[in-house]
Chains A and B, each alone.
Chain A
């Protein structure tokens, strides 16, 4: 139980640190900052030209697809790495099952990749 106490101390300490920084940001910075306002500092950056519009624009939904695919296969890689590290021990205990298990996992995700490929999610047009 005492170990949880240590964790609790760190948790409370972290919370206090965050609150301390928030107080600093809210009240102390406006005392010690160098205040040199200029309207150009709030303008959208457009390589020196006068900005045509605001910078918060709509962009293509294709980026969302790519982000989703990335997350899926990134999580797959995150599962692969510890398996690869402990493979030698697993081989002694389980033998071929250790390999077949991971192959099944990869095959399921590979099926998902083939589906995305056939559906055209990998095209950039």
Chain B
């Protein structure tokens, strides 16, 4: 799924400019890091892609669809094709690991048997099968992040959005999470990830988009932090 931002500006009340005239194009299957200091507009950019926010001006299009013109009733169907991993995991605390992952498929009315098979696959993929009956509060930060990744993978998305997925993790766990993300990208899924982690960006040499005070100041293929 490709992403096209053309002159996108986002202003929050009262007159806080989060993004200013940002333009870029991300092709299907790319791995892109969004970097920049805190408050530079990284999360705003990702939330525009997931349509949690709408641009004040400009065009934000994903898969050829202008997100501002998307009908409210189409949003859930769009989001099923976008895997989302957030820094704070966004897991449902009352549900177990298995239920958190099964839920996104149940919302699509997938039959129970297929839900079970697919959940088994993605939980295995992130190495958490033994933890499947635990609640998020019983897991470490790294494990919770892996559950969030498994959930994002459950619907086989074409686009994977990760908002600082290694932000709360130690070096070793962060490396494990990155390994999973690269594997997802290797299967042809577009991955857009915001991060502060210089070591990760510098070691993998992927495309880097850098923001500063809401402006795009660098867009470099094979870039560093």
- A and B: bona fide binding partners: no
Q: List residues of chain B with CB under 8 Å of any chain A CB.
A: none
Q: List residues of chain A with CB under 8 Å of any chain B CB.
A: none
